[in-house]
Chain A
Amino acid sequence: MKGRERIHGPALLHEGPRKDSRPSDSGLCVTLAQEDREGIHGPAVQRLPIAIEIRMAWKTIDRTTPVVDADAPPVLSDGVRDKIRSFFVRYETKRAVLLPALHVVQHALGHISWQAMAEIAEILEIPPSDVMDTVSFYTHFWTHPKGKKVITVCRSLSCELMGGADMLDTLKKKLNITEHETTTDGRYSLVTEECLAGCDHAPCLLVNEKLHKRVQPADVDKLLADDSNDRVTMPRSDLFDPPHETSESPNGADEA
């Protein structure tokens, strides 16, 4: 059950180890948990175990605990707010500043918390639900803290053909985490994504902003040991970066 999200609320009634892995309760559904593991070559497919995961077909909503604590101090600094407002001249509507704002806030805080969403909504004069609607659509936005560096492994066809699955496996073993998890020391989070448009350098991965090309399983150790593995070689534009004074953020800024 490693890596499963916990289900809160009344659904807890059924939590705990199960004796029977084949439920007959009509309220349960069974999903294939087998995920993204198989190599593209024949034999790897054959040796796969079949894993079946059981989960509740519903989730409950807790309406008694406020999502955002109204008394909590603001999470967005004045500098970040000014940075967000600096995008207003570029667009016809304030809502259009949402994506730039989310990039800036994620750079500043490491992730976009409920409270950050509420504060962004206030700046852009839109309902917080609109912010959440957009945040939940895009895969790059984190709604919970992530590691200092995010490793994004490409899993599309060219990379898989060139050994991407083996490379991903090696990474998982070395980091001792699976996809969408963060190492216990908070150094790395691991995610996979569809095509990174680096197919001529397959298999490839990103460490934060830096694209690493033709990464073989044997290269993984060296890659992880390199402290500057997220440093890009060209001059960086700070357009979507928070102002420098925001290094007070509790989760640490994205840029190491």
Chain B
Amino acid sequence: MASFEPILLRNRGVENSTSLEVYASRGGYQAVRKVLQRSPADVIEEVKSANLRGRGGAGFPAGVKWSFLPKDRTRTLLCVNADESEPPTFCNRVLIETDPHQLIEGTIIAAYATQSQVAYVYMRGEFHEQFHILQKAIDEAYAAGYLGKNVFGSEFSVECYVHRGAGAYVCGEETGLIESLEGKRGWPRIKPPFPAVEGLFALPTVVNNVETLSCLPHIIERGADWFTGIGPAHSAGPKLFCVSGPVNKPGCYEGAMDITVRDLIERDDMGGGMMDGKEIRAVFPGGISMGVLTADEINMKLDFDDPRNFGLLGLGTAAAVVVDTDTDLRSVLRNIARFYGTESCGQCTQCREGTSWMNKIATRIAMGAGRVEDLDILLETARNMGMMPGLSICGLPDGATFPIETLVKKFRPELEAAILAQEPGRAEAVLNVLN
């Protein structure tokens, strides 16, 4: 397969790539100059026809999202979602570390298209080094007149502020992010009203992911037709894929959305195959929330549509973690259940209780004190958490049930065998103490 010409990562490996000087010398900040000559509506049309689908996980077209803004608005706010917290996703971290000015240019373009006065970059609290890099880049952009009043000498003005989170997965959900920006707990809001109508400070608000915004300068520079020419029609444009776990070259790789999970793990210019001759047992291909694939299913295409054919929630963040055959799946189950048990915000009963019980049950199974019927209880809990779309305020419970449900369903024989092989009487002993 021909190697992919990097677009979003084209400055990775270039010396001093985080500086404005280097970014500008490599064609940076040309797109935004062009954009300022065009009308905002024209820019929205261009992005719409590029079919730029949101890279944060949901895959909603960015241009369409922008067009939901009320026509008669006077103030608009833009939020940049840099709260990347989905294990095992790190592509936004790589983008910020290697090319912060690309993100800033994309942010100015989005702010212009939506006529936003302020752009808030909501950055997760764990990103310390990345914060320093981005803040330095923002300072540089301000000093050069690219941010603030009359950007590039035009009539358009936009302020750009970094807002640092403080450790909460749910703040990556767009209304949770908005609440957190307002100084509150990151509790997602009931929709409608959608943020485009009533968002941050009750003003029309657009929330876009770092990777989505980083695509914008390239769409403007090279046109929507060029963008739609990359990858399949429904999943156009370059995409960052992450791979981690016991592979030879864990990392962030760029490609069109026509590659498979197998490519991502095995290709020499990507994951480079399994470490020390280990074998694949399972892969979580899109962040853990999307669900799991067996070793037989890794020919799944990493685009926005194919994951549904494998019982997964969607493409998610296209970040794969590989589980090898030496690993005890009960511990994987427990690790995942604990994640959601910790990160559920606690607003909706079924999510708060469901994730916490799934954590307790999975912990007991991982302790070697499981029962076969516990697997059915896990499935039933999962069903109760997501039996009706719209039952919960946000998508977290869906994200919590898919990995548990797919893991239990697809690996039931292995899990049952492990439970049956545990020390006899242990489950009963533990349950007796608990009762």
Residues of A within 8 A of B (CB): 22, 30, 32, 34, 36, 38-42, 45-46, 48, 50, 52, 90-93, 95-100, 102-103, 124, 130, 133-134, 137-141, 152, 155-158, 160-162, 193-202, 206, 208-211, 232-237, 239-240
Contacts and interface: CB of A to CB of B under 8 A. Distances in A.
Contacts of A162: 245-246
Contacts, number: 211
Given A91-B201, A138-B125, A158-B321, 20 more contacts: A30-B434, A32-B363, A38-B331, A40-B335, A50-B369, A103-B166, A157-B88, A157-B332, A161-B246, A161-B321, A193-B126, A195-B85, A197-B84, A197-B85, A199-B87, A202-B88, A206-B126, A211-B128, A211-B129, A232-B128
Given A41-B326, A232-B132, A236-B132, A157 B182 contact: no
A156 B323 CA distance: 13
Contacts of B260: none
The list of the 4 closest CB pairs from A to B, nearest first, reads: A98-B183, A209-B128, A138-B166, A199-B88
Main DSSP-derived SS at the B contact region = mixed
Interface string B165-209: 111110000000000111111100000000000001101000000
Contacts of A102: 166
B164 A199 contact: no
B183 A93 contact: yes
Interface string B104-131: 0000000000000010000011111101
Contacts of B87: 156-158, 194-195, 199
A224 to B, nearest CB: 19
A198 B93 contact: yes
Given A200-B242, A234-B133, A48 B368 contact: yes
Nearest to A50: B430
A249 B163 CA distance: 25
B65 interface: no
Interface stretch (B32-40, B47-55, B336-344, B388-396): B336-344
Contacts of A34: 363, 367
Nearest to B426: A50
Contacts of B250: 158, 199-202
Nearest to A160: B335
Contacts of B183: 93, 95-99, 124, 130, 134
